[in-house]
Structures are given as C-alpha cells and as structure tokens.
C-alpha cells in the first residue's frame, strides 16, 4: 500500500468519523472518499494537519487486513 500527503483541493471533500468514536475528543481519524482515492486525517488537527491520500486498491487491502 502506498500513501502520499496532499494539500490541494481538500475543501471539496466530505469527512466522516467512525460511529465508534466517542464524543469526548479522543484519538480519532476522519475519512473522506474521492473518485480515485480515500483520504485520511487526524480529527484533532482537521484543517491544519496533514492529509494522506490512499488509492482505492490500497484502502481495500488495508480494511481487509484490519477486519
């Protein structure tokens, strides 16, 4: 799997946090989907922190391994 940090055109993404995340501001990641990739960021640094872009094949392989 490969991932790269991106900084452009991020305003068009709709971010989602896991329903398993608590509302107490714990350690969470947010995910957004694009036409050819999945984007991941730290919810505590949303807007200011890095965003990783992962190809759909890489994301599918990752989620298959963590299930």
Query: What's the rounded Cα separation, in Å, for the pair 21 and 57?
Result: 25
> Each residue of 33-62: pLDDT tens digit?
988 899 998 887 777 788 899 999 999 999
Task: Give the contacts of 61 (CB within 8 A, at least 6 positions apart).
Answer: 1
pTM of the model: 0.73
Q: Where are the domains of the chain?
A: 3-17+28-66
Instruction: Give tens-digit pLDDT for 14-31.
Output: 888 877 666 666 668 889
């Amino acid at each position: 799997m490969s991932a790269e940090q991106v900084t452009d055109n991020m305003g068009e993404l709709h971010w989602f946090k896991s329903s398993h995340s608590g509302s107490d501001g714990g350690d969470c990641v947010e995910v957004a989907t694009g036409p050819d990739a999945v984007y991941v960021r730290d919810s505590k640094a949303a807007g200011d922190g890095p965003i990783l872009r992962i190809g759909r094949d890489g994301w599918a392989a990752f989620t298959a391994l963590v299930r």
